[in-house]
Structure 1
Amino acid sequence: MRLRHQLILLAALTLVLPWAALQYISEMQSTLRDGQLRAMTASARAVAKLLASDGEYLALTSRHLAPAGSQPLYAHPLPAAPIVDGYDDEWRYYPFSPRTLGKPDASVQGTVQLAEFGSQLYGFVRVTDRDVHYHNPALDAVASGDHLVMRTRNVRGEQHQYFISASAPGRAQVYRWAGQQVQLEHRIVAHWQERVGGYQLEFQLPVAMAQEGLSVTVVSQSPGAAVVRLSSSANAIALPPVMRQHPDLNGLLAVFAEADQRWMVLSPQRWLLADAGSFAGQPSDYPAPAAMPYAWLWRILLARPVLPQWRDLAVAGFLPATDTAQQQWYYTRDTWVAQVRLPIYAGNDIAGYVVLEQSAQAQDEGTQQALWRLLLYSLLTVLVLGFGLLGYASWLSWRVRRLARAAEQALGERGVVSHDLPDNTRADELGDLSRSFSRVLQRLGDYTDYLQTLSSKLSHELRTPLAVVKSSLDNVKSELPSAAESPNLAIYHQRAQAGADRLSGILNAMSAATHLEASLAQADKEWVAVDDLLTDLVRAYSDSFGRKISLHIEDSAGYQMLLAPELLVQMLDKLVENAVDFCPASGCILLTLGRSEHHVILQVSNDGSLLPEAMQHQLFDSLVSIRPRTAQSSSHLGLGLHIVRLIVDFHNGRVSAANRADGSGVVFTVRLPITDA
């Protein structure tokens, strides 16, 4: 893995910072919500004690105790008065659900909705009956068919019974039973309309007529069939009171209601008697507040426990008996709602409940803003660190690659070792590495210089001892008896003489390279037709080596060049000799002469074994040879191609060796610059 990738992975560890901050925000949010519950509990306890000492409140709650076995009706407050016409245009959009009447029969079912606006009560009854019979005055003066029975108790405690029937769709007749007589009741307005599968009835009456009690019974009677009664209360004797909100109690609670708080008072049987204030996120008749942006991301980042769904007590009208928790968090829309419920004691008896609700939207908005800022700062930090580390890694990678390229190029094509590497003055680890490489390359350069001068030193130092050895061998030869008398001594003498001759040849070759280096400065250049010179040399080489050597000249326009012809011939001798040594007897040796824009290109190509990849740039160094160790090649010291490079360098050219593209042999290429006449 590259250095920059490693540093990028290291930069990814900075993502731990926003994670740790998220945990801190989550803990802070939990602590704030616990504190919110404690503050709400203290406020609700104070209000409960205040109401427990209020005699008017205790009297009010005592009037709202439903008799055993009865089911009171709840009158929900309305924002506006509905039109009493028997149609459910308004009722179908009210948030509260209808109340089922009695136990539904297989053929008759009914529901009722009760509401309050101002000083009037409004009701809407839906009846499902496949066989609807209208009132026939000829059969009964009050109600001979399907009708509605309403029982009420007014503020004076007087109970009355009313019959509502209709002979046809439209306004219905309302009769009050007074002793043994019936009277038309004009204070109650009712309208009867047909509906699919039954009928519906809408009525209106003053609150004072049913303030202390109300029940509704649907009566379905058909000729020859049993009478079906569906009542809102199972207790046919005791009349339950109408559960409703009281303005005076609402006004008292409004004093305690602060911003984003909702106060409620429940009866001992958990019916809603007062409701004041509101909190953010609460459903209402007005447009809901806009949801927090990216709430889904908020829920993912700050995981919350599974909470029950919040239910509006104003919609249900009562609190289910199964809900016993005094402190509870609920979830609604995109926020939490805290609910605290405390009992109101009158002595040892429960006279009601105080309920306080408050949303956590203000905290959520503050926490969300902190979260967004945290994510923004964390993202900026990660980006800055990421780009910084990426830039630093790129800079380090560039320095490492530059040092690697400099180390690879320290050994030049002409055998010159350069130990001046980049960053060798820096005080960091790469500077230490560069200085270490420089010291190694300096030692390598000194050793290379020593090897390059070794031939001249050996030639000078060994020539005198070799002359002594050869003269001694000559003296020994003159003193030896005849070969017939001492055959072994003659053989030993011959071997010693052959070794001395071979050593003399090696020293001559080493001296030739040394003399060539010294004589290059005195070499004279002249204009030479290279193509004509090559043509003559190829004929001579073919005759000398006894094998065919081909020549190909790409351009016949002439190749006049300013050079030293003796040196050029010596260079070609070495190249052709090398090609003959490595080319098999059946192989081909080809000399090619061509030109480019600025150079004359001379190539010597031969079939045979390929050059090792690692040796292609070292063949022209002194004392470098890749010939196999045989008796025939023992005298080759690798000085021939070194002489080639010296001659090419003298002419400011370049020489290179490479394998053929098809892998059939080797090509030596000499590039000599073109000089204007």
Structure 2
Amino acid sequence: MKLRTRLFIFSSVFLIALPVLGYYFIGEIQQSLLQGQEKTQSMTASTIATVVRGYTDLFDTDEDALYVYPLRLNVDIDGYSTLGEDWHGFEGRLSSAENDAFSLLLLDDAQFLYAYIRVEDDDIIYRNPRYVPLDSSDHIRLEYIDPEGHVQRLVLLAEGQGNVSVYEVNDDWQSWKNGHHVNAVYGVWHETDAGYDVELRLPIKWLQRRRMSISVVSVFGENERYPDTIVSTRKLKSDTLNPLLFRSREINTRFENFTEASSQICIIDKYRRVRAVIGGDEKGSSLCQSTDKVSDDLVEKVLSGKIETRRIVKGEKTLIIAAHPVFKDNRVVGAVLVSDSDSQILSQQRDTLLAVLFASLTLALLVFVSLLAFSSWLTFRINRLNVQTSALIDDSGRFISNIDLSDNRHRDELGELSRGFSVLLDKLNNYTRFLESMPGMLRHEILNPVNTLSLSLQHLQDQGASDRMSDSTGSIDIADNAIL
């Protein structure tokens, strides 16, 4: 396998492992951020739970209270618009009275209380002026306690579809007090396939005592016209009007700086009813904004006195909820829920992942180009060294040029290899020259007479071990020394 291929494989493995490890560590960072967010939300819930203990009116409310949703947009009291359009998506939020005889939805703003009443009645009997009693037709009774503490009674009736007539009546509901129409209350009666709908509006300042009840009365017979069925929001055989359960604007104002755009604080009572909502928006959060009660599964543990943190997966998003109970005299009277989505963390993770991916791709490109350039340069030098060393010797093994390799000047490993080759080739060149000069030297030595005589005497000396030659050995040494 060539060096360039090895470098390419090694760099590819490294460059693939880098984004994979980056993705793994980003996931670990996300889990760490989510845990940190859970702890932060839990601390926020604990702080708010401690503060709202002093707001006893948030939690001292009966279970049969009438829930009032805050109104965010204007409502047209016309009787002809659908509930989803004119009442801004509150379909499914109507509370049902006894035996589902009628359903009720209450909204409020700074000036008015709005009511949407849906009645099931297959035989509608309208008011006939010939019948004097005000309870001689199908009608709606409204009772409330005024700011002075007095019970006021209003009857809403109609002679047909359109605007309703509103009168202040006596205790018997049959006669009016002054005969004048109550112009401050405006309502519209509209027939439906199942019965009729009534939309009405009355001043919110009348309800400072926060007590009101609504009853729907159906009369029997077109001729008899006596009250046959009365269905009320009040409990049976109870003279107490229903409490009105408004969301606390004071709490909203006090804690409005505790939340960010994606988070929401929800305060509930022991009946799971939403008492205050801070932050969030109606479309983006379904925890508390558009409901009167939160899910029992969501707050079952916290209303038993336990602190809870959970994650709810909704599609691609995760909703983090931290819940803390509110205690009063060692009793759980409510709870504080702090919810936030992981959208900010996911956004940060997405940005980080894109940054890591971009950096990885940029680094991969730079490393690939660098390794390609380096391997090409390294291969070029190796090939050049091979060509230069091969060009120094011909086919017969003789050096045909001087030894001057280009990489001798470099101080890296290839330079050291090149210099080693130069030393080795230089020694080989010297040895080759010596061998080439050896025949001439031998010929010169053999043809020289003095060398011939010297060699002969040396030979005689080496063979002079016999007794008869012992006398002449001294003479041979003297002659040999004289020649040298």
The secondary structure found in structure 2 opposite 1:250 is: helix
- What does residue 213 of structure 1 align with? 211
- Deviation, 1:117, is 1.0
CA contact (8 A) 2:319 2:339 kept: yes
CA contact (8 A) 1:411 1:417 kept: yes
- Deviation, 1:203, is 0.6
Aligned equivalents of 1:381, 1:158: Cα separation in 2 = 80
The secondary structure found in structure 1 opposite 2:276 is: strand
Aligned equivalents of 2:394, 2:217: Cα separation in 1 = 116
Deviates more, 1:267-276 or 1:139-148: 139-148
The secondary structure found in structure 1 opposite 2:108 is: strand
- Deviation, 1:311, is 2.0
Aligned equivalents of 1:23, 1:175: Cα separation in 2 = 72
Deviates more, 1:373-382 or 1:176-185: 176-185
Partner residue of 2:200 out of 162, 187, 203 = 203
Aligned equivalents of 1:318, 1:51: Cα separation in 2 = 19
- Deviation, 1:381, is 1.1
- What does residue 378 of structure 1 align with? 360
- What does residue 10 of structure 1 align with? 10
- Deviation, 1:33, is 2.9
Structure 1 residues 275-323: Cα deviation after superposition (integer angstroms, max 9, x where no partner): 33x2xxx4358xx8xxxxxxxxxxxxxxxxxxxxx52312103322221
In the alignment, structure 1 residue 34 sits paired with structure 2 residue 35:
yes
TM-score by length of 1: 0.49
Q: Which has the larger radius of gyration?
A: 1
Q: How does 1:560-571 map to 2 (within 5 A)?
A: none
Amino acid across the alignment from 1:11: S
| Higher RCO (Cα < 8 Å, 6 or more apart) | 2
Question: Are residues 74 and 422 of structure 1, via their aligned partners in 2, closer, same or farther at CA, if it must alter by over 3 Å?
Answer: farther
- Deviation, 1:199, is 3.1
CA contact (8 A) 2:264 2:339 kept: yes
- What does residue 341 of structure 1 align with? 323
Q: How does 1:209-288 map to 2 (within 5 A)?
A: 209-210=206-207, 211-219=209-217, 223=221, 235=236, 237=238, 239-254=241-256, 257=258, 259-260=260-261, 262-276=264-278, 278=279, 282-284=280-282
Q: How does 1:69-84 map to 2 (within 5 A)?
A: 70=64, 72-84=65-77
Q: How does 1:364-443 map to 2 (within 5 A)?
A: 364-395=346-377
In the alignment, structure 1 residue 356 sits paired with structure 2 residue 338:
yes
Amino acid across the alignment from 1:46: T
The secondary structure found in structure 2 opposite 1:390 is: helix
CA contact (8 A) 2:324 2:337 kept: yes
Aligned equivalents of 1:371, 1:174: Cα separation in 2 = 65
The secondary structure found in structure 2 opposite 1:273 is: strand
Amino acid across the alignment from 2:133: A
- Deviation, 1:138, is 3.5
TM-score by length of 2: 0.66
- What does residue 613 of structure 1 align with? none
CA contact (8 A) 1:135 1:166 kept: yes
Partner residue of 1:65 out of 62, 66, 69 = 62
- What does residue 288 of structure 2 align with? 313
- What does residue 166 of structure 1 align with? 158
The secondary structure found in structure 2 opposite 1:192 is: strand
Structure 1 residues 541-565: Cα deviation after superposition (integer angstroms, max 9, x where no partner): xxxxxxxxxxxxxxxxxxxxxxxxx
- What does residue 126 of structure 1 align with? 118
- Deviation, 1:354, is 2.8
Question: Are residues 213 and 428 of structure 1, via their aligned partners in 2, closer, same or farther at CA, if it must alter by over 3 Å?
Answer: same
Aligned equivalents of 2:369, 2:218: Cα separation in 1 = 82
Question: Are residues 8 and 120 of structure 1, via their aligned partners in 2, closer, same or farther at CA, if it must alter by over 3 Å?
Answer: same
Aligned equivalents of 2:154, 2:211: Cα separation in 1 = 13
Amino acid across the alignment from 2:201: Q
CA contact (8 A) 1:407 1:421 kept: no
- What does residue 648 of structure 1 align with? none
Please list every run of 5 or more consecutive structure 2 residues that lacks an aligned counterpart in the other structure: 303-307, 429-484
Structure 1 residues 147-196: Cα deviation after superposition (integer angstroms, max 9, x where no partner): 33434445566555543221112111234442234326614321112345
Structure 1 residues 444-464: Cα deviation after superposition (integer angstroms, max 9, x where no partner): xxxxxxxxxxxxxxxxxxxxx
Amino acid across the alignment from 2:360: S
- What does residue 107 of structure 2 align with? 115
Aligned equivalents of 1:199, 1:321: Cα separation in 2 = 33
Q: How does 1:538-549 map to 2 (within 5 A)?
A: none
Structure 1 residues 382-419: Cα deviation after superposition (integer angstroms, max 9, x where no partner): 11122223344455666788899999999999999999
CA contact (8 A) 1:58 1:351 kept: no
Aligned equivalents of 1:352, 1:49: Cα separation in 2 = 11
- Say how many residue pairs are matched: 405
Aligned equivalents of 1:208, 1:403: Cα separation in 2 = 101
The secondary structure found in structure 1 opposite 2:369 is: helix
Question: Are residues 403 and 268 of structure 1, via their aligned partners in 2, closer, same or farther at CA, if it must alter by over 3 Å?
Answer: same
Structure 1 residues 580-601: Cα deviation after superposition (integer angstroms, max 9, x where no partner): xxxxxxxxxxxxxxxxxxxxxx
- Deviation, 1:58, is 1.5
In the alignment, structure 1 residue 190 sits paired with structure 2 residue 187:
yes
CA contact (8 A) 1:82 1:90 kept: no
Amino acid across the alignment from 2:156: I
Please list every run of 5 or more consecutive structure 1 residues that lacks an aligned counterpart in the other structure: 289-309, 444-677
In the alignment, structure 1 residue 94 sits paired with structure 2 residue 88:
yes
- Deviation, 1:377, is 1.4
The secondary structure found in structure 1 opposite 2:297 is: coil
The secondary structure found in structure 2 opposite 1:344 is: strand
Aligned equivalents of 1:233, 1:414: Cα separation in 2 = 122
CA contact (8 A) 1:125 1:202 kept: yes
Aligned equivalents of 1:23, 1:37: Cα separation in 2 = 21
Structure 1 residues 65-85: Cα deviation after superposition (integer angstroms, max 9, x where no partner): 22xxx3x33211123442322
CA contact (8 A) 2:189 2:198 kept: yes
Aligned Cα root-mean-square deviation (Å): 4.7
